[in-house]
Amino acid sequence: MTRPNQMTLLKSARLSVAPMMDWTDRHCRKFHRVLSDHALLYTEMVTAPALVRGGARHLLRFDPSEHPVALQLGGSDPKELAEAAAMGADEGYAEINLNCGCPSDRVQSGSFGAVLMERPDIVAECCAAMIDAQDVEVTVKCRIGVDDQDPAEVLPDFLARVSAAGVGRFTIHARKAWLQGLSPKENRDIPPLDYELVVRMKEMFPHLHLSINGGVASLDEAEALLERGLDGVMVGRAAYHDPAAILSQADQRIWAKRGPRPMDDVIEAMAGHIEAHLAGGGKLHQVTRHMLGLFSGQPGARAWRRYLSEHAPKNGADAQVLRDAYDLIKQAAETALNGENKALEDISKDT
């Protein structure tokens, strides 16, 4: 399998889609890739113990058409992470990313995720082991700090220690994680964002490739952050819930490439993916659940979501369900256009 070269990967990292548990599986990534040729995509976090001790190598499965795509690993044992990174490299991933930002209780109990912000030397040791074990670039996704830490002191120390181990690229979620007192969901919204601190880190560490994550809801915001000197922007929930607004426009606005792919082509590309998935024993809703936000804010969006939600889980459901749901969108668009034309006619008559 041919993975993207380093220059292609760095260009793609200007805009990436965050690793999101239960969301960014291979079907989601395929959908996002149909919308954007260039955005860097990430897997859900896969734990090193699951791969090394649990034999769950099937979790690494992906299609080469998803490239550029990165594998995110969770763990805190250098030897296990090195073995898991080698597995990821063998599977053909373009990047191996270490999770130092997830605040869930389950992750904390395994001594990895955001709790590793308190243990930069362990992170450095883990990254060094991962780098030595294989040839794919190792990167880190982190927070600005946790609990009562002072981010202005903790973050530069973390970056210095971990980069000394050979890591040259970091994605920084510009919020603290409160490991005590806040749920994972609350940790995505309640701790205040500190974009200024991340911008200062780029000024302090100009040799590092730094991407920012957290609260970015539009391409306008992403472009503004890139203009401030950051190397990349990672978008999470906005890319998932309104993928057309983020990913369909990204190739043109971020990389000066093609404009949005015609929606007819998007639907047919995903229909082809669905047919292949069903032929392998899969279920329609495993794909379409990631597509519910495709027409967010457009006429017919509610009918689209309702039709897919009701019909995709049924036995025997196939790609025709997707096409039928899309017909509802086209009908709604035509109705809206006729309404606009009628209003214009009425205005011209009045004048």
* 102 catalytic residue (yes or no): yes
Would you say 64 and 121 are in contact if contact means Cβ atoms under 8 Å apart? no
First-last CA distance in the chain: 65
Q: What is the H or E stretch that residue 17 is in?
A: strand 15-17
Closest by CA to 68, choosing from 148, 147, 11, is: 11
Strands (E), 154-279: 169-173, 209-213, 232-235
Phi-psi sector, 182: left (phi>0), alpha (psi -120 to 50), beta: beta
- DSSP 3-state helix, strand, coil percentages of the chain (rounded to 5)? 55, 15, 35
Q: How far apart are CA 313 and CA 315, in angstroms?
A: 7
* Residue 37 token pair: 């040729």
Would you say 29 and 41 are in contact if contact means Cβ atoms under 8 Å apart? yes
Q: What is the H or E stretch that residue 120 is in?
A: helix 120-133
In total, the chain counts a number of residues equal to 351
Task: Say how many C-beta atoms besides its own lie within 10 A of residue 11's C-beta.
Answer: 16
Question: How much is the CA Rg of the chain, to the nearest whole Å?
Answer: 22
Closest by CA to 40, choosing from 72, 14, 2, 6, is: 14
Which is catalytic among the residues 100, 102, 126, 142? 102
Residues taking part in catalysis: 102
